[in-house]
Amino acid sequence: MKKIVRILGLIQQINQKKQLSKRQKRQLIKTLLYLEYKSYTNAGYNEIVTISILDFTFSGYGYENLCILFREIFVQEEYQYFQTDLKSPVIVDCGANIGMATLYLKWKFPNATIHSFEPDPSAYSMLERNTKANNLQHVFLYNNAAMAEEGELDFYTAASHKASLMMSTVASRMDEQKITVKGIDFAAFLNNTKPSLLKIDIEGAEKKVFPKLKETGALIHLQQIVMEYHHMIDRSGSDFSKMLHTLEESGFEYNLITHFNEAGKFQDVLLYAFKPRQ
Protein backbone atom coordinates (compact mmCIF):
# COMPACT_ATOMS: atom_id res chain seq x y z
CA MET A 1 0.00 0.00 0.00
CA LYS A 2 2.85 2.42 0.84
CA LYS A 3 4.37 1.79 -2.59
CA ILE A 4 1.07 2.58 -4.33
CA VAL A 5 0.66 5.79 -2.33
CA ARG A 6 4.25 6.81 -3.19
CA ILE A 7 3.71 6.14 -6.90
CA LEU A 8 0.47 8.13 -6.90
CA GLY A 9 2.35 11.00 -5.28
CA LEU A 10 5.00 10.87 -8.01
CA ILE A 11 2.33 10.87 -10.72
CA GLN A 12 0.82 13.95 -9.11
CA GLN A 13 4.24 15.64 -9.20
CA ILE A 14 4.47 14.96 -12.94
CA ASN A 15 0.97 16.28 -13.60
CA GLN A 16 1.82 19.49 -11.73
CA LYS A 17 4.77 20.32 -14.01
CA LYS A 18 3.40 23.34 -15.87
CA GLN A 19 6.39 23.52 -18.22
CA LEU A 20 5.55 20.12 -19.74
CA SER A 21 3.08 19.35 -22.49
CA LYS A 22 0.35 16.74 -21.97
CA ARG A 23 2.31 14.39 -24.22
CA GLN A 24 5.47 14.79 -22.15
CA LYS A 25 3.55 14.16 -18.93
CA ARG A 26 2.07 10.97 -20.38
CA GLN A 27 5.53 9.85 -21.47
CA LEU A 28 7.01 10.40 -18.00
CA ILE A 29 4.12 8.66 -16.25
CA LYS A 30 4.39 5.68 -18.60
CA THR A 31 8.13 5.38 -17.94
CA LEU A 32 7.63 5.74 -14.19
CA LEU A 33 5.02 2.97 -14.03
CA TYR A 34 7.14 0.70 -16.22
CA LEU A 35 10.23 1.20 -14.06
CA GLU A 36 8.34 0.75 -10.80
CA TYR A 37 6.89 -2.53 -12.05
CA LYS A 38 10.14 -3.80 -13.53
CA SER A 39 12.23 -2.89 -10.48
CA TYR A 40 9.74 -4.80 -8.31
CA THR A 41 9.74 -7.95 -10.47
CA ASN A 42 13.39 -7.95 -11.68
CA ALA A 43 15.98 -7.78 -8.91
CA GLY A 44 19.16 -8.12 -10.99
CA TYR A 45 21.81 -5.40 -10.94
CA ASN A 46 24.07 -6.25 -13.89
CA GLU A 47 21.70 -6.93 -16.78
CA ILE A 48 21.76 -4.20 -19.43
CA VAL A 49 18.24 -2.85 -19.90
CA THR A 50 16.91 0.00 -22.04
CA ILE A 51 14.00 2.38 -21.48
CA SER A 52 12.47 5.47 -23.07
CA ILE A 53 12.67 8.86 -21.34
CA LEU A 54 10.65 11.44 -23.24
CA ASP A 55 12.09 11.17 -26.76
CA PHE A 56 15.40 9.69 -25.60
CA THR A 57 16.62 6.09 -25.36
CA PHE A 58 18.46 5.30 -22.16
CA SER A 59 20.25 2.19 -20.90
CA GLY A 60 21.50 1.05 -17.52
CA TYR A 61 22.37 -1.96 -15.37
CA GLY A 62 19.14 -3.38 -13.98
CA TYR A 63 15.85 -1.62 -13.37
CA GLU A 64 16.28 -0.66 -9.71
CA ASN A 65 19.07 1.89 -10.25
CA LEU A 66 17.29 3.25 -13.31
CA CYS A 67 14.11 3.67 -11.29
CA ILE A 68 15.91 5.53 -8.49
CA LEU A 69 17.70 7.83 -10.93
CA PHE A 70 14.57 8.50 -12.96
CA ARG A 71 12.55 9.40 -9.85
CA GLU A 72 15.23 11.77 -8.54
CA ILE A 73 16.18 13.44 -11.82
CA PHE A 74 13.11 13.52 -14.09
CA VAL A 75 10.23 13.30 -11.59
CA GLN A 76 11.46 15.07 -8.45
CA GLU A 77 13.87 17.12 -10.59
CA GLU A 78 16.75 17.58 -8.19
CA TYR A 79 18.47 19.79 -10.77
CA GLN A 80 15.49 21.98 -11.59
CA TYR A 81 17.06 24.78 -9.55
CA PHE A 82 19.63 25.45 -12.26
CA GLN A 83 18.59 28.63 -14.04
CA THR A 84 20.60 30.74 -16.46
CA ASP A 85 20.13 33.52 -18.98
CA LEU A 86 23.06 32.22 -21.01
CA LYS A 87 22.07 30.70 -24.35
CA SER A 88 25.02 28.30 -24.32
CA PRO A 89 26.05 27.70 -20.70
CA VAL A 90 29.05 25.58 -19.77
CA ILE A 91 28.02 22.91 -17.26
CA VAL A 92 30.06 20.31 -15.36
CA ASP A 93 28.41 17.05 -14.29
CA CYS A 94 30.79 15.59 -11.72
CA GLY A 95 29.82 12.07 -10.69
CA ALA A 96 27.83 11.43 -13.84
CA ASN A 97 27.34 7.69 -13.24
CA ILE A 98 25.53 6.32 -16.33
CA GLY A 99 24.52 9.77 -17.57
CA MET A 100 20.93 10.46 -16.57
CA ALA A 101 21.75 13.86 -15.07
CA THR A 102 23.79 14.69 -18.18
CA LEU A 103 20.76 13.76 -20.30
CA TYR A 104 18.44 15.89 -18.15
CA LEU A 105 20.75 18.91 -18.29
CA LYS A 106 21.08 18.58 -22.08
CA TRP A 107 17.29 18.33 -22.36
CA LYS A 108 16.86 21.42 -20.20
CA PHE A 109 19.70 23.38 -21.86
CA PRO A 110 19.93 22.04 -25.47
CA ASN A 111 22.73 24.45 -26.45
CA ALA A 112 24.86 23.80 -23.37
CA THR A 113 28.39 22.44 -23.40
CA ILE A 114 28.55 19.72 -20.75
CA HIS A 115 31.66 18.12 -19.25
CA SER A 116 30.77 14.83 -17.54
CA PHE A 117 33.09 13.00 -15.13
CA GLU A 118 32.74 9.37 -14.06
CA PRO A 119 35.68 7.31 -12.69
CA ASP A 120 34.05 3.85 -12.55
CA PRO A 121 34.72 1.86 -15.76
CA SER A 122 31.30 0.14 -15.88
CA ALA A 123 29.37 3.34 -15.29
CA TYR A 124 31.57 5.25 -17.73
CA SER A 125 30.93 2.63 -20.43
CA MET A 126 27.19 3.15 -20.06
CA LEU A 127 27.66 6.94 -19.96
CA GLU A 128 29.39 6.68 -23.35
CA ARG A 129 26.64 4.44 -24.69
CA ASN A 130 23.84 6.81 -23.65
CA THR A 131 25.64 9.87 -24.99
CA LYS A 132 26.13 8.23 -28.39
CA ALA A 133 22.65 6.66 -28.53
CA ASN A 134 21.04 10.07 -28.15
CA ASN A 135 23.55 11.92 -30.33
CA LEU A 136 24.21 14.44 -27.57
CA GLN A 137 26.27 17.25 -29.07
CA HIS A 138 28.90 19.25 -27.17
CA VAL A 139 29.01 16.68 -24.36
CA PHE A 140 32.55 15.72 -23.35
CA LEU A 141 33.22 12.65 -21.22
CA TYR A 142 36.06 12.00 -18.77
CA ASN A 143 36.83 8.63 -17.17
CA ASN A 144 38.33 10.39 -14.16
CA ALA A 145 37.64 11.23 -10.54
CA ALA A 146 37.63 14.81 -9.29
CA MET A 147 40.56 15.32 -6.92
CA ALA A 148 42.47 18.09 -5.22
CA GLU A 149 45.58 16.95 -7.10
CA GLU A 150 46.13 14.89 -10.23
CA GLY A 151 47.00 11.26 -9.55
CA GLU A 152 45.57 7.83 -8.80
CA LEU A 153 43.31 6.81 -5.94
CA ASP A 154 41.50 3.81 -4.52
CA PHE A 155 37.86 3.56 -5.52
CA TYR A 156 35.40 1.18 -3.88
CA THR A 157 32.68 -0.53 -5.89
CA ALA A 158 30.99 -3.93 -6.31
CA ALA A 159 31.27 -6.44 -9.14
CA SER A 160 27.81 -7.74 -8.19
CA HIS A 161 26.24 -4.29 -8.61
CA LYS A 162 27.56 -2.44 -11.64
CA ALA A 163 27.38 1.37 -11.53
CA SER A 164 26.09 1.26 -7.97
CA LEU A 165 24.93 4.61 -6.62
CA MET A 166 27.03 3.94 -3.49
CA MET A 167 30.42 3.72 -5.23
CA SER A 168 32.89 5.92 -3.38
CA THR A 169 36.47 6.79 -2.47
CA VAL A 170 35.36 6.06 1.12
CA ALA A 171 35.84 2.36 1.96
CA SER A 172 33.07 2.27 4.55
CA ARG A 173 30.55 3.28 1.88
CA MET A 174 31.11 0.16 -0.24
CA ASP A 175 34.13 -2.11 0.11
CA GLU A 176 33.27 -5.23 -1.88
CA GLN A 177 35.82 -4.44 -4.58
CA LYS A 178 38.70 -1.95 -4.67
CA ILE A 179 39.96 -0.60 -7.99
CA THR A 180 42.42 2.12 -8.93
CA VAL A 181 41.11 5.08 -10.89
CA LYS A 182 42.75 8.15 -12.36
CA GLY A 183 41.98 11.54 -10.91
CA ILE A 184 42.39 15.04 -12.27
CA ASP A 185 43.15 18.33 -10.59
CA PHE A 186 39.52 19.49 -10.57
CA ALA A 187 40.34 23.07 -9.59
CA ALA A 188 42.66 23.41 -12.57
CA PHE A 189 39.95 22.00 -14.84
CA LEU A 190 37.37 24.53 -13.62
CA ASN A 191 39.81 27.39 -13.97
CA ASN A 192 40.45 26.31 -17.55
CA THR A 193 36.84 25.70 -18.68
CA LYS A 194 35.14 28.36 -16.51
CA PRO A 195 31.70 26.72 -16.18
CA SER A 196 28.79 28.65 -14.72
CA LEU A 197 26.89 25.60 -13.42
CA LEU A 198 28.23 22.63 -11.43
CA LYS A 199 26.36 19.47 -10.53
CA ILE A 200 28.47 17.40 -8.15
CA ASP A 201 27.73 14.06 -6.49
CA ILE A 202 31.01 12.33 -5.64
CA GLU A 203 30.15 10.30 -2.54
CA GLY A 204 32.16 12.14 0.08
CA ALA A 205 35.13 13.31 -2.00
CA GLU A 206 33.63 16.81 -2.09
CA LYS A 207 35.14 17.42 1.35
CA LYS A 208 38.66 17.18 -0.12
CA VAL A 209 37.94 18.93 -3.41
CA PHE A 210 36.23 22.15 -2.31
CA PRO A 211 39.03 23.61 -0.15
CA LYS A 212 41.27 23.49 -3.24
CA LEU A 213 38.55 25.10 -5.37
CA LYS A 214 38.41 28.00 -2.93
CA GLU A 215 42.21 28.25 -2.60
CA THR A 216 42.76 28.47 -6.37
CA GLY A 217 39.85 30.79 -7.13
CA ALA A 218 37.99 28.15 -9.14
CA LEU A 219 34.71 28.97 -7.39
CA ILE A 220 34.79 32.47 -8.91
CA HIS A 221 33.54 31.15 -12.26
CA LEU A 222 30.56 29.26 -10.84
CA GLN A 223 27.19 30.93 -10.48
CA GLN A 224 25.24 27.91 -9.23
CA ILE A 225 26.07 24.56 -7.65
CA VAL A 226 23.82 21.60 -6.95
CA MET A 227 25.70 19.25 -4.66
CA GLU A 228 24.79 16.03 -2.92
CA TYR A 229 26.71 16.44 0.31
CA HIS A 230 27.41 13.23 2.20
CA HIS A 231 27.15 14.17 5.85
CA MET A 232 29.12 11.86 8.18
CA ILE A 233 29.87 9.45 5.33
CA ASP A 234 33.32 8.61 6.73
CA ARG A 235 32.11 8.33 10.35
CA SER A 236 34.45 11.12 11.40
CA GLY A 237 31.78 13.30 12.97
CA SER A 238 29.97 16.44 11.87
CA ASP A 239 31.92 18.86 9.68
CA PHE A 240 29.24 20.26 7.37
CA SER A 241 29.98 23.78 8.65
CA LYS A 242 33.33 23.69 6.83
CA MET A 243 31.60 23.27 3.47
CA LEU A 244 29.07 25.99 4.24
CA HIS A 245 31.84 28.33 5.38
CA THR A 246 33.74 27.71 2.13
CA LEU A 247 30.65 28.60 0.12
CA GLU A 248 29.81 31.65 2.23
CA GLU A 249 33.32 33.07 1.93
CA SER A 250 33.13 32.55 -1.84
CA GLY A 251 29.97 34.64 -2.16
CA PHE A 252 27.32 31.92 -2.29
CA GLU A 253 23.91 31.79 -0.69
CA TYR A 254 22.33 28.36 -0.33
CA ASN A 255 19.27 26.25 0.39
CA LEU A 256 19.21 22.72 1.79
CA ILE A 257 16.92 19.73 1.25
CA THR A 258 17.40 16.76 3.56
CA HIS A 259 15.93 14.21 5.92
CA PHE A 260 17.36 11.54 8.20
CA ASN A 261 16.23 8.20 9.53
CA GLU A 262 18.37 7.92 12.65
CA ALA A 263 20.13 10.52 14.78
CA GLY A 264 23.91 10.50 14.51
CA LYS A 265 24.03 8.48 11.28
CA PHE A 266 24.97 9.24 7.68
CA GLN A 267 22.58 11.37 5.65
CA ASP A 268 22.46 12.87 2.17
CA VAL A 269 21.99 16.62 1.97
CA LEU A 270 20.97 18.21 -1.33
CA LEU A 271 22.60 21.63 -1.37
CA TYR A 272 21.70 24.32 -3.90
CA ALA A 273 24.23 27.16 -3.81
CA PHE A 274 23.93 30.33 -5.86
CA LYS A 275 25.46 33.75 -6.16
CA PRO A 276 22.84 36.49 -5.76
CA ARG A 277 22.13 38.56 -8.84
CA GLN A 278 23.70 42.00 -8.63
The mean of the pLDDT values for the chain is 92
Question: For residue 199, what pLDDT band results from cuts at 50, 70 and 90?
Answer: very high
- pLDDT of res. 183: 94
Instruction: Find out whether 108 and 82 touch, Cβ atoms under 8 Å.
Output: yes
Question: For position 158, what pLDDT does the model report?
Answer: 84
pLDDT in tens, 213-263: 999 999 999 999 999 998 877 777 788 999 999 999 999 999 999 887 778
Q: What is the pLDDT of residues 141-168, one digit of tens each?
A: 999 999 999 999 888 888 888 888 888 8
* % of the chain with per-residue pLDDT over 70: 98
Among positive and negative, which fits the CA dihedral 35, 127, 174, 211?
A: negative
Q: What is the CATH number of domain 77-274?
A: 3.40.50.150
Question: Would you state the pLDDT for residue 60?
Answer: 97
DSSP codes of every residue in the chain? -HHHHHHHHHHHHHHT-TTS-HHHHHHHHHHHHHHHHHHHH---SSSEEEEEETTEEEEEESHHHHHHHHIIIIIS-TTTT-----SS-EEEEES-TTSHHHHHHHHHSTT-EEEEE---HHHHHHHHHHHHHTT-TTEEEE--EEESSSEEEEEEE-TTSTT-TT-BSSTTT--SEEEEEEEEEHHHHHHHH--SEEEE--TTTHHHHHHHHHHHTGGGS-SEEEEEEEETTTSS---HHHHHHHHHHTT-EEEEEE--SSTTS-EEEEEEEEPPP-
Cα–Cα distances (Å) from 271 to 35, 111, 121, 226, 264, in that order, read 27, 25, 27, 6, 19
Mean pLDDT of 118-133: 97
- Model pLDDT, residue 278: 65
What is the pLDDT averaged over residues 25-41?
Answer: 95
* Lowest mean pLDDT, pick from 8-22, 89-103, 171-185, 186-200: 171-185
Q: Taking the domains of the chain in order of start, what are their residue ranges? A: 1-76, 77-274
For residue 44, name the pLDDT band (cuts at 50, 70, 90). confident
